[in-house]
Structure 1
């Protein structure tokens, strides 16, 4: 069974709670803006800065996270239960799905296909994708789910920010490990 265990202190100390289902508002559970460490068992989870799965996002794979650089910011949690088979994302150079486009079915170094620093919108047909603000999987994350369409990265402060090696695909496997390029 998949779950996330959260702690108010670093190194798995302080108050704790186990969640096996999505939590739209951590304030109702007494854990709003206080999570400092966590453990993920099974499926990956997404932590959001705002309630109702809004605001900045961060994905957590199965494992233990004794210290979080963004501790004390999370207000909602969502387990990734989407079908990870048949991944496909279409990236567009301009807003509202205009300009050059590329369709990807696996994790790709955008620099290798002359598409880094140009993406402004996308459509996800399958799989769960994590897009990063900076190179080497650094900076803010944007997690996109099957059927999701993002016509503009401007409201997300993400426009033209996808650098080489920043598009990651969560793959269907028993431990939900990430595929490396």
Structure 2
């Protein structure tokens, strides 16, 4: 499970909060613009200067960040955080053997030494598409967050995987600046009236793959 621990003081001291889900405004946790050290566990997180996942962002891999210089920040200016889309690929069943963790797409797993050897997968965050051919071609499987102990678990045909990518998502908001009614889509919609969003979209976020 992806977890982030935010501390108000350097070196993991002072007030702190643990999160396993995103927060679009750390004021709700009493931690807005006071974060001075961070621990990331399980999977990567993205931290943002501004609320609602806006402004300068930093991708933090699992590890300890004893002060803001450790993540390349500019002081303790952090206002929102969320888990990054991430997937962990294992060469052997039951999450053993060589592994690689990705937060973005890979056109050819051979570049990582993992072509046609993936035997188990953990999807930490987001929806991911995995393909049995390079360049996102061939048979495709869409995996939601969870553990897949062997290729039978995702309906595969052996460990034949050559490319992976996160599924793109678009978030539509009824009001400017990402406020008001909203809906998140990972597939096309030929009539936004079905989502109650026809002719009312005033701001948009696009996440994952373009």
Question: TM-score normalized by structure 1?
Answer: 0.48
In terms of fraction of residues, the more helix-rich structure is 2
Q: Whose radius of gyration is greater, 1 or 2?
A: 2
Q: With CA pairs under 8 Å and 6+ residues apart, which has the higher RCO, 1 or 2?
A: 1
